[in-house]
Amino acid sequence: MYTVYYGEKRIIFDFSEDKYNNFIHFSRTDTLSYRAEVLDLLDGHDHLACVCEDVERVFASFCDLFKRVTAAGGIVVDSRGRTLMIFRNGRWDLPKGKREPGESLEECAVREVHEECGISGHTCGRPVGTTWHLYVMNGEMILKDTYWFSMAYNGPTDLTPQTEEGISRAEWCTEKEKRRNLEGSYHTIRDLF
């Protein structure tokens, strides 16, 4: 199953229609050929499920309809069990950013955490998941896939938010603070936890 967020709406690619009240079926050979096919059906609903036997194929045809941006980020936990969160453009988020040419996903995730929060010495662990969302930039619709990694950090806890990227705060959050912050976060971030 794949979930792509478009603002507060979801486009879901799944095998079964049982959980959804707004869905379209795809045959074994169907593909998505134009984006309005999905976005028009999403209009007036909070979700649209694309139901098909070959989820990978239909999702790949959906991805081909958009300019792609790949990013990576981290769920960073310090030696006291606190999670690193950032407050960017009015919402709680996790540090992440676009992958540069020739950079591995792990290198991107480590670099972005360093740039956005000012820490170094964090180590990249196992992959946690991948999130997808659509947004419009300069009149063009972009599909961003973000690869997330667990990270451990055992160093100075001073943080420096990257204000030029819209980050006004970077904080080490207890479990209670993290749960509270997730209420004001993006769906993609909530899905990770």
183: alpha, beta or left, given left = phi > 0 and alpha = psi -120 to 50? alpha
Segments of the chain assigned to CATH 3.90.79.10: 68-192
Q: What is the pLDDT of residue 13?
A: 93
∠ CA 189-192-193, rounded to 5°: 100
Ranges of residues in the chain whose predicted pLDDT is under 70: 28-32
- Which helix or strand (DSSP H or E) is residue 179 part of? helix 175-183
Nearest C-alpha neighbor of 154 from the set 67, 68, 82: 82
Write the pLDDT tens digit of every residue in 27-46. Answer: 766 666 777 777 888 888 99
pLDDT at residue 29, rounded to an integer: 66
* Separation CA 130–CA 147 (nearest Å): 5
Q: What is the pLDDT of residues 85-121, one digit of tens each?
A: 999 999 999 999 999 999 999 999 999 999 999 999 9
Count Cα atoms within 13 angstroms, Cβ side, for 158: 2
Q: Determine the pLDDT at residue 36.
A: 75
Rounded Cα–Cα distance for residues 66 and 80 (Å): 41
Q: How many angstroms separate the CA atoms of 68 and 46, rounded?
A: 23
Q: Which residue has the tokens 């749960």?
A: 179
Q: What is the C-alpha separation between 157 and 148, in angstroms, rounded? A: 22
Q: Would you give the end-to-end CA distance of the chain in angstroms? A: 17
Overall CATH class of domain 68-192:
alpha beta
